[in-house]
Amino acid sequence: MPITESVAVSRWEMYAVFPRRVALFRSETGGSSWEYWATVAYDQASIIEWRSPSITRLRDGKLVCLLRTAHRPARQGNLWFTYSKNEGRTWSPPKWTNLWGYPADIIQLQDGRVLAIYGYRRPPWGVRGCISEDGLTWDIKNQFVVREGGAAPPTFRAYWHIGYPTVCQLDDGTILAAYHEYSKDETPVQHMRCTRFKLDG
């Protein structure tokens, strides 16, 4: 059928009809096909946008998800979290944390603690981390700095677009976080950086 009419709608008008949600998909074919499994977070009022989820499985089987949020009209919010005790079929109501930053990556460490790493897109910029004893309780008092800086000058388009970290723990117990930032060149160059560190026990 040919297209005979087009309608332009604003971003927020679109979200009012199709609110941004986080959904879980699964594959039983090694990734060659996928099926919708569950909604992880969704706001029917379209006030909170849920974005950029990061999920890890804890040793007790729970799935824990950290969520980036934005509140209408355009304010970036704190990280929220939710969890599932039944393989992701249903999820707890999302809960606010006092961690500001986005988006995050999350893993369970060898000692059982849970680590979140996330971008920090306001002065002094960079990447931060936070430790949780169980993955279900998060507090800014357990936050630490992985890297400061990395933003381009404000005159440079998208100067704040840094972070998007991924994190893993190596066999020797050290932690490796990879993320992107801008160089200090006259014309800033976006590049990857890695920080390797250890956490106190």
Q: How confident is residue 110, by pLDDT bands cut at 50, 70 and 90?
A: very high
Report CA torsion sign: 87, 91, 92, 95: positive
4 inside domain? no
Is 101 within the bounds of a domain? yes
Element (H, E) at 107: strand 104-108
The arithmetic mean of pLDDT across residues 17-36, rounded, is 83
Q: Is residue 53 part of a domain?
A: yes
Does 95 reside within a domain? yes
- Give the residue-averaged pLDDT of 59-70: 94
Indicate whether 5 belongs to any domain: no
- The answer to whether residue 46 is domain-embedded is yes
| Structural domain of 82 | 11-197
Average model confidence (pLDDT) for the chain? 88
- What is the pLDDT confidence band of residue 10, given thresholds at 50, 70 and 90? very low
With respect to residue 3, please indicate whether it lies within any of the assigned structural domains. Answer: no
Q: What is the pLDDT of residue 19?
A: 59
Rounded mean pLDDT, 82-109: 95
CATH number, domain with residue 124: 2.120.10.10
Tell me the C-alpha to C-alpha distance, in Å, between residue 17 and each of 43, 72, 186: 12, 14, 43
Report the number of distinct structural domains present in the chain.
1
